[in-house]
Amino acid sequence: MSLELLLVSGLWLLALVLTVVSLFLEMRARQLQERVARMVRAHIDESEPVDVVEDEELRRSLVMRLVRALLLPTVQRLSRLLPQSGATLQVTEELLAMAGHPLGLSATDFMGLRLLCTITGALLGVVFPPSLALVVPEATAPQLALIAIGMFAIAGFLGPVFWLRRVAGQRRYRIRRQLPDMLDLITLSVEAGLAFDGAVYEAARRFKGPLSDELMQVMREVSLGKPRAQALRDMAERLKLEDISLLVSAVHQAETLGSPLANALKALAVELRKKRLRMIREQIAKLPVKLIFPLVLFIFPTLFIVILGPAVVQLLRTGLGG
């Protein structure tokens, strides 16, 4: 038992040392980045609009920035131990693009995060066996310890993937909900005389959310020289949403045929609202089926206890009294 305790303490101490070293390296890198930014700003005319990298960092919450500062250096070091190409990385990059690159992770960084979570899960599996010895026979404790290490390691390996898929699903859902309102504002701006690029920029500036971020990225790509049609197609490829693909097709068709863009956007907004209403009705229709499991597992047993409990107690008293 003392050897296991010493091993666990050593592993936790090693993790603490790695965390402190990672924080120190992150602080040094941030200081160098600030020095370079000051040198660059000294040679740039302040009247020119400049996209500053720190703005993207400051938009994140304090918790996200802290997690990023703690994890990213370690994750990047672990990612160097893994293959830097392959189908898995391509699929991961597509999933990260749909999720909006949470924590600023690249595909290789995410693979490093999976490796870190796997190691952490295995360490938790090492910590778990001493508590098992208190409740299970000593003969079966080693087998259960190996099973615990394997299960925790597998959970650590698969956990980040489930988390990323959940983040991507939530983000795509928010984009679908926000798109009709965004199209209405773009349509009003176009009808008021703004060009399509200006209308998209104004709508993205006034809205907050993932759709606004995606449209701002499109505008940045267009300002850097990429054709607008290609930038919109890239956005549709990143998000893999049918609604966004319909928007790209409507804009392309209106520009190709010379038809009024405002009418096409207005018709698309109406169609997307009808589609959203159908989705809401489908979700409402599925609610009774989804409620069966919690009803059977949680509510019905409680009702049976409340209703039949006194009768069972009375029967037991009668039987004992007889």
Give the pLDDT of residue 104. 79
Give the pLDDT of residue 167. 92
Dihedral angle sign, alpha carbons of residues 271, 273, 278, 282: positive
Tokens of 227: 């054709």
**Continuous H helices in the chain:** 2-42, 53-58, 62-79, 87-99, 107-132, 141-191, 196-206, 210-223, 228-239, 242-257, 261-294, 300-321
Give the pLDDT of residue 37. 59
In three-state secondary structure terms, 44 is coil
Give the pLDDT of residue 22. 62
Q: How far apart are CA 308 and CA 314, in angstroms?
A: 10
Q: What is the mean pLDDT of residues 188-208?
A: 88
CATH of 174-277, one of 1.25.40, 1.10.1060, 1.20.81, 1.10.3470: 1.20.81
Please say if the pLDDT value at position 139 is more than 90. Answer: no
Q: How far apart are CA 235 and CA 281, in angstroms?
A: 28
Neighbours of 228 (CB within 10 A): 17
Please say if the pLDDT value at position 50 is more than 50. Answer: no
Q: Classify residue 104 as left (phi > 0), alpha (psi -120 to 50) or beta.
A: left
Q: What is the mean pLDDT of residues 208-217?
A: 90
Q: How far apart are CA 121 and CA 7, in angstroms?
A: 16
pLDDT level of residue 233 (50, 70, 90 thresholds): very high
Q: How far apart are CA 165 and CA 143, in angstroms?
A: 33
Query: What tens digit of pLDDT does each residue of 11-33 get?
Result: 666 666 666 666 666 666 666 66
**Percent of the residues in the chain that have a pLDDT greater than 90, as a whole number:** 12
Tokens of 125: 């599996």
Number of H helices, E strands in the chain: 12, 0
Give the pLDDT of residue 42. 53
